[in-house]
Amino acid sequence: MSDHLPAFPASTILGYPRIGPRRELKRALESFWSGATTKADLAEAGAALRTRTRTHLTDLGLDPQAAAIPSDFSYYDQVLSTAVAVGAIPERFGIDASTPISLADYSRLARGDAETAPLELTKWFDTNYHYLVPEIGPDTPLRHAPGSAPVAEFAEAQATGVHTRPVVVGPVTLLALAKGTDPLARLDELVAVYQQLLAELAAAGATWVQLDEPALVSDNGAVPAAQLGEAADRAYRTLAATADRPGILVAAPYGDLRERFATLAGTGVEAIALDLVKGEIPDDGALAHARGLTLVAGLVDGHNVWRTDLHAAAERLQHLRAAHDGPVSVATSTSLLHVPHTVADETDLPEQLRSWLAFADEKVGEVLALTAGPETAPEAFTTSRAVREDRSGALGVRRDEVRRRTAALTAADTERADASERATAQQERLNLPSLPTTTIGSFPQTGDLRRARAQRRKGELTEEQYAEVIRGEISRVIELQTELGLDVLVHGEPERNDMVQYFAELLDGFAVTQHGWVQSYGSRCTRPSILWGDVSRPAPMTVEWTRYAASLTDKPVKGMLTGPVTILAWSFVRDDLPLGEVADQVALALRDEVSDLEHAGIGVIQVDEPALRELLPLRADDHQAYLDWSVRSFRLATSGAATHTQVHTHLCYSEFGEVIDAIDGLGADVTSLEAARSAMEVVPELAEAGFSRGIGPGVWDIHSPRVPSEAEIVDLLGRALAAVPDRQLWVNPDCGLKTRGYTETVESLRNLVAATEQTRASR
């Protein structure tokens, strides 16, 4: 470590959106992948975005000389970029890791090719961002790759006169997120590689580096919680002892470090960033371990879009400054990766709602205002107070009829008749064969559909013309399913741009942005809706389409709704009401929809909860309270259903282990789950947990265009039937088909039906 470490900047952010205000990175990546542009074009687009970000953050007021501007660009994912920088490239890709990796090879790791499957993709902590899972087995090479992106991008900024702070994922988190035998077995080797990386950064002139260690605030990772503290201690003592290195900031976003704060503080690192939105200020005992260290107070929420209550934040800052013997800086709680670029772009939002919001750029301003304090930045504080008052009293934020309804709820509202009684009544009504076949809801979203939606938006199609297009699509989808011989049909969801936004647009209490894109993974972005007020349903949302589908067939048609937890998880949710209460409001709106579907004669209704696992809190002792409200809200949405109405649910994207009891608690008559890739592993798990209602473990991995063979599906069904009786098993794909094409959809569903018939015949 150099003797003269410059002070950590007074104000900073832990990261900034990489995708670009008009999704420039998305376009550059996709045209490179399609072959329309070259790697030089992509590199140029990346450099232009980085330059724009540095200039823009400087203009917004972050210090361009003092390591206040994070250098956190990545062409696809920061976990992948860090893995590449430490040479952790699985041998199966056949990539030479001794020279900086090409953009083509980098893309191959993320996307695979004809011969090689890509790295697995999974959710990043409790966010809707997805990272690529590093593969670090006993033999995976780990080696310093000189000239890797963190160093090159730091140097690029230096050349333009901006002294940035390189950001990489820390070694403990990289291993905790990796797939391999014993994730921590390679810790010492990996830390040695980080030492070389730090030395190279120091040689390039970096004064500070940020190592992101969110794994330290979670109990849910691959490393047993008990070993995380020890791993952090070992890793950071070694890193701190590196001879030539920049100052080390360890960032712990998304939660509370708890006892691991004192551990980290004792390792010799110079600074720790605390998420004070999710976590608490360490107590005096813990702070005693941190004397002289810089604490970076994450007081501005990087993971939601509301303006900060600057007075409350300033009070906590004051408290921390008084309690801590050492410098205190101000920052966002997490990277701003999770929020859109700027509210200024949202010219279509109602002016009042707009004034309550802070996206990435506005949050930089809040960090600076907090650092300055109410004396120096009085307008910011006055505005903050005015916004709070305006928001709490605004029309629609609190609606008596909604509050009265949630306040009057009782346990009876979450109960249905006994499950076996329901099963009998439903079978009598639906008269289904054994091993009933169905799909998860959506059918391929064709170019024609997307065009029709765009034309409707531009006013080029009237409502009636648009409805005609949708009806045409529904009748095609019903015809196809009839021809394929499926048992429970769906309308195909052609009217939905997105399974959450569709409902957000129809419910009161939500707003939709124009440019509010956030990166989900790689070039994929989502545009979360904003849930700002009390939620209610002004009119039925799905009944017309479902009724139309049902009118075309004698087979049962399944109504399709998105569940309360998923609606919350994929929106920006108000921060002035407990999530459980917001979930109840959404649940009641859905409950009314269920009732209307029943009145329209629909006998099967599915309420999707793919995000149930995603919102699971990072700390084990918070799990129960979450599972209580999430399960309750689902039951509230569905328990109004009559005994003879069959309620389905669908979950995907997760290891279900930790939520098995919750899945049972949902009480759905039929539960479909993603299972094809894990060879039906979830079926025996559910059976062992005593789950006795219908189960539809997916037999077709819909995440790739590959068509599963009939024999393969027969094999999967055999595995499932080894664990559960025939009467429990349903046959369906892993998830909806909206991202698939019709060619593979038809072939795969044909095989699915044939495999089911073959299995039925053999029983």
Task: Indicate which residues carry an active-site annotation.
Answer: 703
Helix or strand holding residue 696 (H, E): strand 694-697
Smallest distance, Å, CB 736 to Zn ion?
6
Smallest distance, Å, CB 124 to ligand MET?
17
d(CA 505, CA 514): 13
Distance from the first to the final alpha carbon of the chain = 71
* DSSP result, 10-59: SB--S---SS-TT-HHHHHHHHHHTTSS-HHHHHHHHHHHHHHHHHHHHH
Stretch that binds ligand MET, among 7-15, 16-24, 625-633, 733-741 (CB under 6 A): 733-741
The answer to whether 136 is a known ligand-binding residue is no
> Residue 264 or 735: which CB sits closer to Zn ion?
735
Smallest distance, Å, CB 608 to ligand MET?
4
Would you count residue 674 as binding ligand MET (CB under 6 A)? no
Q: Which stretches of the chain bind Zn ion, using CB under 5 A?
A: 610, 652, 735
Would you count residue 560 as binding ligand MET (CB under 6 A)? yes
- Residues sharing a CB contact under 8 Å with residue 305, sequence separation 6 or more, in sequence order: 339, 340, 357, 358, 359, 516, 530, 572
How many alpha carbons fall within 13 Å on the CB side of residue 135?
14
Would you count residue 90 as binding ligand MET (CB under 6 A)? no
Would you count residue 440 as binding ligand MET (CB under 6 A)? yes
* DSSP result, 199-217: HHHHHTT--EEEEE-GGGG
Q: Residue number with the shortest CB distance to ligand MET?
A: 736
Burial per residue of 238-276, b for 16 or more beta-carbon CB atoms within 10 angstroms, e otherwise: bbbebeebbbbbbbbbbbbbbebbbbbbebbbbbbbbbb
Stretch that binds ligand MET, among 222-230, 467-475, 700-708, 732-740 (CB under 6 A): 732-740
Stretch that binds ligand MET, among 135-143, 467-475, 480-488, 734-742 (CB under 6 A): 734-742
The answer to whether 366 is a known ligand-binding residue is no
Smallest distance, Å, CB 231 to ligand MET?
34
* DSSP result, 89-103: --GGG---TTSPPPH
Binding partner of 738, given Zn ion, ligand MET, none, CB within 5-8 angstroms per partner class = ligand MET
Which residues ranging from 583 to 612 are in contact with ligand MET (CB under 6 A)?
Answer: 608, 610
Smallest distance, Å, CB 650 to Zn ion?
6
Binding partner of 183, given ligand MET, Zn ion, none, CB within 5-8 angstroms per partner class = none
> Residue 229 or 492: which CB sits closer to ligand MET?
492
The answer to whether 128 is a known ligand-binding residue is yes
Q: What are the φ and ψ backbone dihedral angles of 506, each rounded to 5 degrees?
A: -105, -10
Residue 337 has which token pair? 């990766």
Strand blocks (E) in 557-621:
558-562, 571-573, 604-608
Rg of the Cα atoms in the chain: 27
The answer to whether 650 is a known ligand-binding residue is yes
Smallest distance, Å, CB 566 to ligand MET?
8
Give the sheet arrangement for strand 529-536, strand by strand. Answer: 508-511, 529-536, 571-573
d(CA 348, CA 341): 16
- Residues sharing a CB contact under 8 Å with residue 731, sequence separation 6 or more, in sequence order: 435, 436, 437, 438, 696, 699, 713, 717, 752, 755, 756
> Residue 84 or 607: which CB sits closer to ligand MET?
607
d(CA 391, CA 306): 10
Smallest distance, Å, CB 734 to Zn ion?
7
Binding partner of 499, given ligand MET, Zn ion, none, CB within 5-8 angstroms per partner class = ligand MET
> Residue 270 or 609: which CB sits closer to Zn ion?
609
> Residue 21 or 698: which CB sits closer to ligand MET?
698
> Residue 239 or 702: which CB sits closer to ligand MET?
702
Q: What does DSSP assign to residue 550?
A: H
One-letter amino acid identity for 530?
I
> Residue 197 or 652: which CB sits closer to Zn ion?
652
Burial per residue of 109-131, b for 16 or more beta-carbon CB atoms within 10 angstroms, e otherwise: bbbeeeeeebbebbbbbbbbbbb
- Residues sharing a CB contact under 8 Å with residue 294, sequence separation 6 or more, in sequence order: 7, 8, 249, 270, 271, 272, 326, 327, 328, 329
Binding partner of 560, given ligand MET, Zn ion, none, CB within 5-8 angstroms per partner class = ligand MET
For residue 183, how far is the Cα from the chain centroid? Answer: 23
Smallest distance, Å, CB 721 to Zn ion?
23
Would you count residue 558 as binding ligand MET (CB under 6 A)? no
Which residues ranging from 57 to 76 are in contact with ligand MET (CB under 6 A)?
Answer: none
Would you count residue 652 as binding ligand MET (CB under 6 A)? yes
Binding partner of 441, given Zn ion, ligand MET, none, CB within 5-8 angstroms per partner class = ligand MET
Could you list the residues known to form a binding site for L-homocysteine, using ranges.
440-442, 608
Could you list the residues known to form a binding site, using ranges.
26, 128, 440-442, 493, 524-525, 570, 608, 650, 652, 674, 735
Contact set with ligand MET (CB under 6 A): 440-442, 493, 499, 560, 608, 610, 650, 652, 735-736, 738
